[in-house]
């Protein structure tokens, strides 16, 4: 059920942008995805399973973007196809830890 899985992950992501994870309800995620709550539990097993899948998806997307930037560089790097240009293209994808 790949389409339902992706719809559920999108619904969970959207819910998480609107409220804390503790306030996200499985019934609301299922309704937003247009599937039954049973389908949600069949796919992820539990709220914790949904959280793990969502974190994995977002991490995979982030790492794929960094890998693309490292392998291709960016137009902003100009003709610099060297390692420094590729790292420079990947740097904006990495969140700052400075406060």
- 60-99 pLDDT, tens digit each: 998 888 888 777 755 555 555 666 766 766 666 666 544 4
In residues, how long is the chain?
99
CATH number at residue 18: 1.10.357.10
Backbone angles phi, psi at 26, to 5 degrees: -60, -40
The answer to whether position 20 is within a domain reads yes
**Residue span of the structural domain in which 59 resides:** 2-93
d(CA 99, CA 61): 25
Residue 13 per-residue DSSP state = H
Give the sign of the dihedral formed by CA 31, CA 36, CA 40, CA 46: positive
pTM of the model: 0.74
pLDDT at 99: 44
The answer to whether position 34 is within a domain reads yes
The answer to whether position 22 is within a domain reads yes
Backbone angles phi, psi at 21, to 5 degrees: -55, -35
The count of domains in the chain is 1
The answer to whether position 99 is within a domain reads no
- Residue 7: pLDDT band by 50, 70, 90 thresholds? very high
């Amino acid at each position: 059920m790949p389409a339902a899985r992706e719809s559920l992950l999108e619904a969970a992501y959207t819910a998480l942008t609107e409220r804390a994870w503790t306030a996200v309800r499985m019934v609301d995620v299922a309704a937003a995805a247009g599937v039954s709550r049973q389908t949600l539990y069949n796919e992820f097993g539990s709220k914790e399973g949904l959280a793990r899948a969502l974190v994995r998806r977002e991490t995979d997307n982030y790492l794929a973007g960094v890998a693309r930037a490292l392998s291709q560089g960016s137009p902003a790097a100009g003709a610099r196809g060297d390692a420094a240009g590729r790292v420079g293209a990947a740097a904006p994808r990495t969140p700052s830890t400075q406060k």
